[in-house]
Amino acid sequence: MKYIDEFRDNKIAKNLAHAVSKKAEGLRPLSIMEVCGTHTMSICNFGIKDMLPANINLISGPGCPVCVTPKSYIDKAMAFSKKPEVILTTFGDMARVPGSDSSLMEEKAKGRHVRIVYSALDAIELAQKNPGKKVIFLGIGFETTSPTVAASLVYARKKKLKNFFVFSGHKVILPAMEALVKDGDVKIDGFLCPAHVSTIIGIKPYTLIAGKYKIPCVIAGFEPVDILQGIWMVLEQIRSKRPKVENQYTRVAKDSGNKKALALINEVFSVKDSEWRGIGTIRESGLFLNRKYSGFDAERVFSIKPVKTRPDTGCICGSILKGLKAPFDCPSFAKTCTPEKPKGACMVSSEGTCAAYYKHRI
Amino acid sequence: MHDLIKKLFVKELGNPLLNKLGDAAIFKTGSRLAFTTDSFVVSPIFFPGGDIGKLSICGTVNDLCVSGARPRYLSCAVIVEEGFGYSDLEKIVLSVKMTCKKAGVDIITGDFKVVEKGAADKVFITTSGVGDIYQGASLSIERIRPGDKVIISGTIGEHGAAVLLAREELKFKAKISSDCAPLNGLTSAILNKGIKFMRDPTRGGLATTLNEIAIDSGYNIGIEESKIPIKESVRVLCEALGMDPLYMANEGKVVVIVAPEAEGKVLSIMKKHPLGRKSVIIGEVKKERNKRVYLKTRIGGKRIVDMLSGEQLPRIC
């Protein structure tokens, strides 16, 4: 695979791992947070932790969109799915996340109209083919997915679609990173910033973290060579005591981001406070449909009874999402919580920290 | 119904034992027997490289093959949903016929039922099969010892990828055909040549089969990512969808565990067979007894390859 295999090159990876070890020599134990779930996946998949020196600890951050979606969101989605006129459409990962009583997959098995789609545009197609039904799309994800959902809403508005709706659980990543740093519970010595989110938002937003909180930020690609080089760059900043924002992923992420995608987000969404699973409400961290698009907003259009969400018991997803604890610290991990019967969202999504740890037992 | 059975099934699949249409087929073999059964509910029923008919024969034939048997007789029960087109049924029966011929087996008893619309999804097929155990074949997971080599007979993941693409839910096009094929020639050629165990890595893919072997033998298995043969098209598809080819189904491949002193010979026999040209040693049985499968990644890291839990679902981003 051109442009992928080069970044999985055995020799380059080994050399970089060696360079990281040299760079880390004599430094105190350091914790570097990989913000994005895809980074966690890649680190597990390629066995990267196995190649790092003992004083470098990688901790997983809050960048798995399925994992940070609160239970209350799932419960509401479940309530929507119970309306006979509704076809609920969702990304595959979401379907297995447990709500208070069941998951969408279980509801589907009971005969509710729940369909797994691969993009919001698939949901639009479904709406056009089923004019007698109301199609709700569960919009979740960070800046990587929100522009595509925004584009589908712009299209739906243009086509004057009356039976397509979005239930937005979209989030923006930076407020969560800042909340973790401000919270201070977990000591973060450097961030590997998400690759694809950065292709949209560019490098500027991270200057807050590097400038105000003096924490090195390196935008890194998802391939092993990218990650190892990203770690090396973080260490270099730590050594030189000059925290800044650097971009390792220059082949895709441009410093200025993707203006068109950002314009789409601004066209459709407004930023408000939002609840994160296990973390709580973070100021101005969620994207919700703005007034212009309120006719497509499932939350405004469909009335549902207030949903009682039961708090998680025996699940430490919150601490895991904050990087405070590792999956092995959880009494449920691999015992009562497995990918087949997940208790918390971190075990559901393949990008979730617990699922990645479970799969590869790192 | 009787008419359809005669005009289609008996006409195409007929042989002296089937033609009698008795309550049971009566036969004699004289050797130790292997007996297996499997149901086929694949959707879609037609996919590049095969269809549910071909699959239902290969699946059962291959289960007999990897047990060290020469597949002989099969039963075939077909359930179709009301309204299912005759021409599609005919296509499936012809495909069954061709595959039986290729595998050298006869269908000697069968059943055909039509159920109400919605009670089945188009067509379901169940086949059972008996085979004669080859003289001297003693394949057993208990014979596996540290140092034994792990061979895969070719590129992995094609059946799973072909079926996934044929579902047309993903607007993704790629030229990938199922590897669906009867393995008799390949497996019989290596029996009694120092092999200890064989299994066809169907549902759950190579990773699942290796885990089963690790659990049942009690030994760890170490494999190397860079040695596992995967077609570029399958790799790209899996990469784009966030799926792991190690867990994608195969229907014409076999995993062989062979004693170290016999690896060269077995490998060279396998490579001479059309279905085994890309056979390769991908790893070995280790002395540690955690019953796990370890993968040395292409960049030199190490990770566990676990059993797949649930279905592989495409990721969000």
Q: Is B136's Cβ below 8 Å from some Cβ in A?
A: no
Residues B124 and B173 in one domain: no
CB A81, CB A56: distance < 8 Å: no
Alpha-carbon dihedral sign for residues B82, B87, B91, B94: positive
Type of residue found at B192:
N
Give residue B100's pLDDT: 98
Using the predicted structure, report yes or no on whether residue B244 has a pLDDT greater than 60: yes
Tell which wins on pLDDT, B98 or A70.
Answer: B98
Question: Between chain A and chain B, how many beta carbons pairs sit less than 8 Å apart?
Answer: 101
- Across the interface, do B301 and A50 touch by the CB < 8 Å criterion? yes
- Binning pLDDT at 50, 70 and 90, where does residue B309 land? low
Asked if the structure places residue B312 within a domain, the reply is no
CB proximity under 8 Å: A 202-231 to B: 224-225
Residue B317 domain flag: no
Name the closest residue on chain A to residue B294, using Cα atoms. Answer: A360
Between the CA of residue A33 and those of A187, A322, B7, B180, what are the distances in Å? 10, 10, 68, 45
* ipTM for the complex shown: 0.81
Considering the domain architecture, whether residues B167 and B121 belong to the same structural domain is answered as no
| CA atoms of B20 and B108, how far apart (whole Å) | 9
Name chain B contacts of A349, Cβ cutoff 8 Å.
315-316
A 37-66 residues with CB below 8 A of B? Answer: 38, 44-51, 65-66
pLDDT of residue B105: 98
CB contact (8 A) between residue B297 and residue A4:
no
Q: What span, in angstroms and rounded, lies between the C-alpha atoms of A315 and A311?
A: 10
- How many other C-beta atoms are found inside a 10 Å radius of the C-beta of residue B97? 18
User: Has residue B19 been placed in a domain?
Assistant: yes
B317 touches chain A (CB under 8 A): yes
Give the mean pLDDT of A9-22.
Answer: 97
pLDDT single digits (tens) B165-183 = 998 777 788 899 999 999 9
pLDDT of residue B315: 59
Q: Distances from the Cα of B202 to the Cαs of A339, A340, B17, in angstroms?
A: 21, 20, 31
The residue from B68, B98, B133 where one domain ends is B133
The answer to whether the Cβ–Cβ distance between B306 and A358 falls below 8 Å is yes
In a domain, B227, yes or no: yes
Residue B123 shares a structural domain with residue B166:
no
Identity of the residue numbered A345: A
Per the structure, the complete domain to which residue B161 belongs is given by 141-305
Q: Is A339 on the interface with B (CB under 8 A)?
A: yes
The answer on pLDDT for B255 being more than 90 is yes
Inter-chain residue contact A1 with B315, CB threshold 8 Å: no
All residues of chain A having their beta carbon less than 8 Å from the beta carbon of residue B169 are 118
Q: Domain for residue B216, yes or no?
A: yes
Note whether A17 contacts B239, CB cutoff 8 Å: no
Reported as a pLDDT band with limits 50, 70 and 90, residue B271 is very high
Does residue B118 belong to the interface with chain A, where contact is any CB pair within 8 Å?
no
Question: Percentage of chain A surpassing pLDDT 70?
Answer: 99
* Cα A319 to Cα B204: distance, rounded to the nearest angstrom: 33
pLDDT range class, residue A345, cuts 50, 70, 90: confident
Number of domains in chain B: 2
E strands in A104-256: 114-116, 134-139, 164-168, 170-171, 190-193, 217-219, 245-247
Tell me how crowded residue A90 is: count the other CB atoms within 10 A of its CB. 25
**What is chain A's mean pLDDT, rounded?**
92
Task: Evaluate whether residue B310 is within a structural domain.
Answer: no
Query: Which chain B residues have a beta carbon less than 8 Å from that of A13?
Result: 299-300
Instruction: Look at residues B133, B153, B180 and tell me which one is the last residue of a structural domain.
Output: B133
Longest dimension (CA), chain B: 63
Is B109 found in the same domain as B190?
no
Instruction: Kindly list the distances between the CA atom of residue A197 and the CA atoms of A146, A250, B88, B191, in Å, as whole numbers in the listed order.
Output: 10, 13, 47, 54
The CATH number for B272's domain is 3.90.650.10
- Per-residue model confidence (pLDDT) at position A310: 82
Q: Which residues, at least 6 apart from B135, have a Cβ–Cβ distance to it below 8 Å?
A: B31
Instruction: Please state the rounded mean pLDDT for residues A330-350.
Output: 83
Three-class secondary structure assignment of A89-112: EECHHHHHCCCCCCCHHHHHHCCC
Mean pLDDT of B304-309: 83
Hey, what CATH topology would domain A67-172+259-301 get?
Answer: Rossmann fold (3.40.50)
Q: Is residue B315 part of a domain?
A: no
Q: Helix, strand, or coil here: A6?
A: helix
A49/chain B closest Cα distance in angstroms: 8
> Across residues A266-280, what is the average pLDDT?
93
Question: Which of B170, B299, B309 has its CB closest to that of A118?
Answer: B170
Q: Say what the pLDDT of residue A353 is.
A: 87
Instruction: Report pLDDT digits (tens) over B46-91.
Output: 999 999 999 999 999 999 999 999 999 999 999 999 999 999 999 9
Given an 8 Å threshold on Cβ–Cβ distance, is A13 in contact with B316?
no
pLDDT of residue B311: 65
Do residues B99 and B62 both lie within one domain?
yes
Rounded to a whole number of angstroms, the distance from the CA of A258 to the nearest CA of chain B is 17
Model confidence at B314, in pLDDT bands (50, 70, 90)?
low
B291 touches chain A (CB under 8 A): no
Q: What is the mean pLDDT of residues A199-221?
A: 97
Domain boundaries, chain A: 67-172+259-301
What is the share, in percent, of chain A residues with pLDDT greater than 90? Answer: 69
Whether B240 contacts chain A with CB within 8 A: no
User: What's the CATH code of the domain at B105?
Assistant: 3.30.1330.10
CA contacts within 13 A on the Cβ side of A310? 11
Supply the pLDDT for residue A361: 66
pLDDT in tens, A296-339: 999 999 998 888 888 777 778 888 877 888 898 998 898 888 88
d(CA B244, CA B208) in angstroms, rounded, equals 12
Find chain A residues with C-beta within 8 A of B171's C-beta: 118
Are B180 and B278 in a shared domain? yes
pLDDT at B310: 63
Query: Same domain, yes or no, for B24 and B87?
Result: yes
Residue A351 with chain B: CB contacts under 8 Å: 315-316
Cβ–Cβ below 8 Å for B303 and A118: no
| Mean pLDDT of the region B179-197 | 96
Mean pLDDT of A32-48: 93
Say whether both B203 and B159 belong to one domain. Answer: yes
Give the 3-state DSSP-derived string for chain B, with helices as H, strands as E and coil as C.
Answer: CHHHHHHHHHHHHCCHHHHCCCCCCCCCCCCCEEEEEEEECCCCCEECCEEHHHHHHHHHHHHHHCCCEEEEEEEEEEEEECCCCHHHHHHHHHHHHHHHHHHCCEEEEEEEEEECCCCCCCEEEEEEEEEEECCCCCCCHHHCCCCCEEEECCCCCHHHHHHHHHCCCCCCCCCCCCCCCCCHHHHHHHCCCCEEEEECCCCCHHHHHHHHHHHHHCCCEEEEHHHCCCCHHHHHHHHHHCCCHHHCCCCCCCEEEECHHHHHHHHHHHHHCCCCCCCEEEEEECCCCCCCEEEECCCCCEEEECCCCCCCCCCCC
If asked whether residues B87 and B205 sit together in one domain, one would say no
- pLDDT bin (cut points 50, 70, 90) of residue A94 is confident
pLDDT of residue B243: 87
Exposure on the CB side of residue B222, measured as CA atoms within 13 A: 12
More reliable by pLDDT, B276 or A41: B276
Q: What local confidence, expressed as pLDDT, does residue A97 receive?
A: 84
